[in-house]
Amino acid sequence: MFLLMAPVPAPVTLSAQAGQTVTLTVRLPAPDSGVLLNRGAPNSLILKTPWGQWKKSPSGRPFVNGGAEFSGYFGQVHPVILRFKVPAGTPPGPHNAQLALQLFTCNRQEKLCQQKDLTYPVTIQVGDRQQAGRLDVPAAALRRPLKPGG
């Protein structure tokens, strides 16, 4: 038996100096991927680090090319920017974090709507470098899983 798995994005690593602010940019799939994000639902992205949690909701422009049926969805989703400060005195080295996404999506082709809960590991490398990170969430991760009973 073969199961088709959604592609997994490359691991996300941020480089940060203790006492400085670092940024993680999350890009959600565009509507032309066939996956629509519900504008009225409690969509959220939560970055959980050893130093606290940061929560954001996606924003963007309404969907206008699908008539009234799709007016409750995003036509364009802006990148979600999560900024946080690494506390001064944080020891150098890798620190594990986690990005949790709760998204309410509809697959236009299958006319199937669902809540998707996704989790991605994030590594924050504390040291001398300062470099933001980026995660591109693949559209396949938001489509219905292709497995028996799923």
Q: What is the pLDDT of residues 97-121, one digit of tens each?
A: 999 999 999 877 777 788 999 999 9
In contact, 135 and 4? CB cutoff 8 Å: no
In contact, 78 and 60? CB cutoff 8 Å: yes
Residue 150 lies in a domain: no
Residue 3 lies in a domain: no
Residue 148 lies in a domain: no
Residue 122 lies in a domain: yes
* Residue ranges of the chain with per-residue pLDDT less than 70: 1-10, 66-67, 144-150
Residue 26 lies in a domain: yes
Residue 76 lies in a domain: yes
* Domains identified in the chain, total number: 1
CB count in 10 Å sphere of residue 28: 27
Residue 2 lies in a domain: no
Residue 6 lies in a domain: no
pTM for this entry: 0.85
- Reported as type and span, the H/E element at residue 122 is strand 112-126
Range of the domain at 79: 12-86+96-142
